[in-house]
Amino acid sequence: MNPTMTALPPSFQWGVATSAYQIEGAAFEDGRTASIWDTFCRKPGAVHNGDHGDVACDHYHRMPQDVALIKSLGVDAYRFSVSWPRVQPGGRGPANPKGLAFYDRLVDELLAQGIDPWVTLYHWDLPQELEDAGGWPVRDTAYRFADYAALVFERLQDRVATFTTLNEPWCSAWLGYQVGVHAPGRRSFDDAIAAVHHLLLGHGLAMRRMRGMETRPHTYGITLNLGTADPASDSALDREAARRADGMGTRIYLDPLRYGRYPSDIVAELATPFPVRDGDLEIISTPFEVLGVNFYFGQDFAGTDEAGNTHDPDGNPIVRAIFPDTPRTAMNWPITPARFTRLLVRLHRDYPGLPMVITENGSAFADNPDISGFVADDARTAYLASHLAAVADARAQGADVRGYFAWSLLDNFEWAEGYAKRFGIVHVDYETQARTPKQSALWYRDTIARTREA
Ligand code: FCB
């Protein structure tokens, strides 16, 4: 018998996840304005195949059918994100009634089907006007985010119990402002450091605003993408590289959030300071109820580049990621479920007293639908099973993990990879917009049902 069936309790919360830009389409309808992703997608060479989210899965027009699909899987909860430029075009000023009305209908539809709505306020679609004014490296963006959060909260708080602020600030800051492979595509270390701080500040400001407005108690949280950072060898150089990678990937987020300080080893090494003002760290460390963990894979780190150098041309120590020697997904990401267990146990140890929910976990594989659109995705099913077993193992070792959202409900717009990489447990035919549950979706449905009976 599959270990997940006995080891996860009937109270475990099961869900599926998506995000606005990746599925909604209707990019310029009902008053929505451009986000940094609409702009980035139009930069030649930025996104595979020149793909964009103008239509995506057309979820904006197919929402009731998609909620029925979610219902058919028997999940408890649905994690979706709200599009900032749909709700507050341009990122300032009053709400767009038509934009808010969409999420209103979505929430009502979910509740009518007995599905718990999990709102993510920011899944990467910054209004372009705010990027033009400086984006996340600029302090004012944090205040704009809190204003926007208040607009959404005011409208939905009576029916939505769980609000999470940001999805994966590491990606917004590093991929968006340092590496440049995500929107807005800038390449500046200083901008990335400033973005980290202003994202965290925005999280804290938004949470305080929402709590101040609430007419009933809510669960608040933030979602981080977290992995494991192991030294590639036992050498002192590689151990230092792993420490730095862990510092920049995990501790610069969780230490300020939980303990109100940036990690001292990282601060001492950074040439650029975080732009902290008096009182910021108190705001950032405002208590919250749930940590959303997104996990895809763990990595090893080496302190030398392939030529054996220990420092890059700017004088920074090398931190080179090496993928462990395991089977890979279509993203070329290593499959590392044992590291997932290790991550969750470590989070429980280093940041105790914080319930966790897996807000994303899943895999892309090259699917081959049969003539009816059915995909016999053994590899994705095995990925899900092994990672759910990893969660069960972590729970058995004491980690307080209360739920799991599969990424993703649907095949969708996978950012720089466009539509080429399919993460859905439901297949989408982008020509016809037909949705067909894959074998993994049926397995997930049956696993949930069996767990409830246990
Ligand atoms: C995460 C993102 C999500 C999706 C998965 C594959 O980093 O949060 O939108 O693209 O990766």
Q: Which domains does the chain carry?
A: 3-453 (3.20.20.80)
If you average pLDDT over residues 279-299, what whole number do you get? Answer: 98
As annotated, the active-site residues are 168, 360
Ligand 1 close to Cβ of residue 447 (< 6 A): no
Ligand 1 close to Cβ of residue 297 (< 6 A): no
Backbone angles phi, psi at 229, to 5 degrees: -120, 100
Ligand 1 close to Cβ of residue 413 (< 6 A): no
Using the mean position of ligand 1's atoms as its centre, give its distance from the Cα of residue 222 in Å. Answer: 15
pLDDT in tens, 117-141: 999 999 999 999 999 999 999 999 9
Using the mean position of ligand 1's atoms as its centre, give its distance from the Cα of residue 364 in Å. Answer: 11
Backbone angles phi, psi at 258, to 5 degrees: -95, -35
Ligand 1 close to Cβ of residue 414 (< 6 A): yes
If you average pLDDT over residues 227-235, what whole number do you get? Answer: 98
Using the mean position of ligand 1's atoms as its centre, give its distance from the Cα of residue 215 in Å. Answer: 32
In this prediction, residue 176 carries a pLDDT of 98
Residue 93 has pLDDT above 90, yes or no: yes
> How many CB atoms are located within 10 Å of the residue 269 CB?
15
- 316 touches 292 (CB < 8 A): no
Across the chain, what does the average pLDDT equal? 97
If you average pLDDT over residues 250-279, what whole number do you get? Answer: 97
Q: Whose CA is nearest to atom 9 of ligand 1?
A: 19
If you average pLDDT over residues 386-393, what whole number do you get? Answer: 98
Provide, rounded to the nearest whole percent, the portion of the chain with pLDDT above 90.
96
Query: Residue with structure tokens 């994690």?
Result: 79
Using the mean position of ligand 1's atoms as its centre, give its distance from the Cα of residue 333 in Å. Answer: 13
In this prediction, residue 313 carries a pLDDT of 87
Residue 143 has pLDDT above 90, yes or no: yes
Q: Whose CA is nearest to atom 10 of ligand 1?
A: 414
| CA–CA gap between residue 282 and residue 266 (Å, rounded) | 20
Residue 232 has pLDDT above 90, yes or no: yes
Residue 5 has pLDDT above 60, yes or no: no
Using the mean position of ligand 1's atoms as its centre, give its distance from the Cα of residue 268 in Å. Answer: 31
Report which ligand 1 atom has the smallest distance to the Cα of 168. 8
- 288 touches 220 (CB < 8 A): yes
Backbone angles phi, psi at 291, to 5 degrees: -100, 120
Residue 223 has pLDDT above 60, yes or no: yes
Assign 189 a pLDDT band (cuts: 50, 70, 90). Answer: very high
- 342 touches 228 (CB < 8 A): yes
Assign 1 a pLDDT band (cuts: 50, 70, 90). Answer: very low
Compare 1 and 152 and report the one with higher pLDDT.
Answer: 152
Pocket test for ligand 1, best of 22, 24, 168 (most atoms within 8 A of CB): 168
If you average pLDDT over residues 1-6, what whole number do you get? Answer: 49
Ligand 1 close to Cβ of residue 225 (< 6 A): yes
In this prediction, residue 238 carries a pLDDT of 98
In this prediction, residue 315 carries a pLDDT of 84
Ligand 1 close to Cβ of residue 148 (< 6 A): no
Provide, rounded to the nearest whole percent, the portion of the chain with pLDDT above 70.
99
In this prediction, residue 246 carries a pLDDT of 98
- 449 touches 4 (CB < 8 A): no
Pocket test for ligand 1, best of 24, 414, 417, 421 (most atoms within 8 A of CB): 414
Radius of gyration of the CA atoms of the chain, in A: 21
Report which ligand 1 atom has the smallest distance to the Cα of 22. 9
Report which ligand 1 atom has the smallest distance to the Cα of 421. 6
Ligand 1 close to Cβ of residue 19 (< 6 A): yes
Pocket test for ligand 1, best of 415, 422, 423 (most atoms within 8 A of CB): 415
Residue 6 has pLDDT above 70, yes or no: no
pTM for the model stands at 0.98
Report which ligand 1 atom has the smallest distance to the Cα of 412. 10
Using the mean position of ligand 1's atoms as its centre, give its distance from the Cα of residue 124 in Å. Answer: 10
Using the mean position of ligand 1's atoms as its centre, give its distance from the Cα of residue 187 in Å. Answer: 21
pLDDT in tens, 406-415: 999 999 999 9
